Structure 1
């Protein structure tokens, strides 16, 4: 089951009393319905569970309807559609159950959309939703009008608004897990980059030390500097901090800045003889 359907099953189960059901049905009709010349509501519901729940709601409210395969016909929309929405959470839940989609949690980006075949309805929905700062945008595609948001915090807020609490926590857990994995990968990349830089630097140190030894250029350096060069050869890959500590044990007190100065001097001497 995809994440969109999980949310739809969760929210449709929560509609219990008549007020919730009336508002939910109004949202569902707004999101899915077409109307015939006799002012009947035409619904095509492919998911059997959702269709059974909608039929149960209609029975509970004593609305007249006809079932024809996947088609559900509700008689006289004027007696069904309410002008005053009294429970927005159920109304928005109905819209999502009818036409909503959300990107699966395996996707690398987030996207939630609602739709309706009726532009008047979609404009009204947009105005209602954006009065709560959701920031829904609208577009038209293949005879339907869509509203969508992409910001993860707005999607999370919408899931809370339609009282899809289990789905909200699942969505939040996915964000946390993804952020953790991204940060972990970023740290691993940084570590690998640092390792490459350190290895390249130490290879240069060793090559320069071998050059001065091969060409008998040690006279350019004092005893402390030569001890440091020997440490580099014996402890390849150590950090400058480690060299500072090792030299201190030999009675040579120097900072990392001082060691950098010796390394620069080594490089300059080698360069002058190449």
Structure 2
């Protein structure tokens, strides 16, 4: 499922495209569950564009706790093994998931950002697996600044209004969008079941879905051997509620299950 070319891309550029990481059976179940999610939107879901009654751009964290197909895919599918292999880690601990939907007619861009600055986590063995549930052409899929996974961390921003996070002490990210020609930007054509696996520090963003396409994707986040819980100064997004986690120690507990451990 993950060959040496894919591994080389991930390690050199911070992102790789992996075809058909889950079977059509899983993709059909997850696509149906996504539509169920949109008929029963929870209060803490984020509507980036449109309305709660008709969202054009939608994000929901922790959907695995709400709908069983997502939970079963985490525990029974091959995602954890893929994450461990890419991260060169003996283990893969589930961090959290995010359901992301952009409907035809969406016009709002997902801003350029790094993930790790949003999170109370430190380490290099941290990745996301962004799974396509629809045919997604490269001009509607995630875009990446290849090689930026080795950059320093930059200040997060709120997706709803682009306001910067407060008190982090981090510098603002360069304005990628107005200087695209200065960066090595990559995107990928995706079929249902294809996935983008990317390191947590890589700079990425996404265009609107466009007029003729629907873009449903499910992103799972994974922690490897060196990932630890880290208290950081200023505003951070996840986890929002910290209970039994200790600074400098690995994540643990039922909210962060260890899914894969190598022999």
Q: Please indicate the TM-score interval, normalised by the length of the shorter structure.
A: under 0.3
Q: State the TM-score, normalizing by the size of structure 1.
A: 0.23
Larger radius of gyration: 1
Q: Which structure dedicates a bigger proportion of its chain to helix?
A: 1
